[in-house]
């Protein structure tokens, strides 16, 4: 397995003075994903947890549905991983040919539309899943940041964390690509037979794009919290599948875009506009 960071010499200018220093960079290299020797995809990623990345990608694209379909995931060479299917497994590889689009975050990626997700039988998250206390949500960004070991040395990786409804960290993955970080995280849970995750929260270190919420839908995740903004299509998808979607989670303040029924909230008047605004009970 390749290394996730490298050290390089840089020139640093500070207060007009030039000096030479050592800096640590996050590694970005291509990974070729194959199924039974057939090349399926090439993605740019940070080396590490490549087996989970392959499993998560194939699950998110609807190719794999159950860990029992997988006999083995093997590293077959530098930057190559091969998924060996179980003898009785049947997969629809044509899905990757039928659903392609240009993504704002990763170029050309596989895509299943909202209608395709409904056709695939992705369930709506039940409304009776655990409530999320505002105080718990407010703690998630810092807890995710504290778990980012590689980010501490590079400052250059996205993170995806899985938390229970009490705010306890269950798992975390890092990668130079935000979609890869989520695939690694979901892939790990898929291989352990832990899906769906309707009582868990997916915490994102950046924005919540359509493709990231789509991955949450596939994994049956009940809530998505992002440090940044969601896209309009991400909000549409979250509403369609009953996901609580929260953006701009910074400190004690955050915006709820869908699924507010999972938060114990009251209403208060926004003093700046006179409109009603959701605030936590005290």
What is the domain-level CATH number for residue 175? Answer: 3.40.140.10
Check: CB of residue 199 under 8 Å from CB of residue 164.
yes
Give Cβ neighbours of residue 64 (< 8 Å, ≥ 6 apart).
55, 58, 70, 83, 91, 190
Q: Is residue 1 in a domain?
A: no
167-217: per-residue pLDDT in tens?
Answer: 999 999 999 999 999 999 999 999 999 999 999 999 999 999 999 999 999
Is 75 inside any structural domain? yes
Interval 237-267: pLDDT, tens: 999 999 999 999 998 999 999 999 999 876 6
Tally of domains in the chain: 2
Radius of gyration of the chain (CA): 20
Phi, psi at residue 176, to the nearest 5°?
-65, -25
Please identify which of the residues 12, 106, 109, 122 carries the catalytic annotation: 106
Shared domain check, 276 and 143: yes
In the residue annotation, 12 being an active-site residue is answered as no
Last-in-domain residue among 77, 92, 119: 119
- What range defines the domain where residue 93 resides? 29-119
Rounded Cα distance, 135 and 4, in Å:
34
Q: How far is CA 143 from the centre of its chain?
A: 16
Report the predicted TM-score, pTM, of the whole model to 2 decimal places. Answer: 0.86
189 and 241 assigned to the same domain? yes
């Amino acid at each position: 397995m390749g290394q996730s960071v490298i050290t390089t010499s840089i020139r640093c200018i500070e207060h007009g003075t030039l000096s030479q220093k050592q800096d640590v960079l996050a590694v970005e290299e291509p990974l070729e994903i194959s199924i039974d020797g057939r090349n399926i995809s090439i993605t740019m990623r940070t080396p590490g947890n490549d087996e989970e990345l392959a499993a998560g990608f194939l699950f998110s694209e609807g190719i794999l549905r159950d860990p029992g379909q997988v006999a083995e995931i093997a590293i077959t060479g530098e930057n190559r991983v091969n998924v060996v299917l179980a003898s009785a497994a049947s997969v629809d590889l044509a899905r990757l040919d039928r659903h392609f689009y240009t993504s704002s975050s990763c170029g050309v990626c596989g895509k299943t539309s909202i209608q395709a997700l409904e056709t695939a039988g992705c369930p709506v998250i039940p409304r009776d899943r655990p409530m999320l206390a505002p105080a718990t949500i407010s703690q998630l960004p810092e807890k995710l940041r504290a778990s980012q070991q590689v980010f501490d040395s590079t400052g250059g990786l996205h993170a995806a964390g899985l938390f229970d409804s009490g705010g306890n960290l269950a798992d975390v993955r890092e990668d130079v690509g935000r979609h890869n970080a989520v695939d690694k995280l979901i892939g790990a849970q898929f291989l352990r037979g832990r899906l769906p995750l309707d009582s868990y929260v997916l915490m994102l270190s950046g924005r919540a794009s359509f493709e990231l919420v789509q991955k949450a839908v596939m994994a049956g995740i009940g809530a998505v919290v992002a440090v940044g903004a969601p896209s309009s299509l991400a909000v549409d998808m979250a509403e369609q599948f009953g996901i609580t979607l929260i953006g701009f989670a910074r400190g004690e303040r955050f915006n709820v875009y869908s699924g507010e029924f999972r938060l114990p909230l009251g209403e208060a008047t926004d003093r700046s506009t006179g409109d009603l605004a959701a605030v936590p009970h005290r």
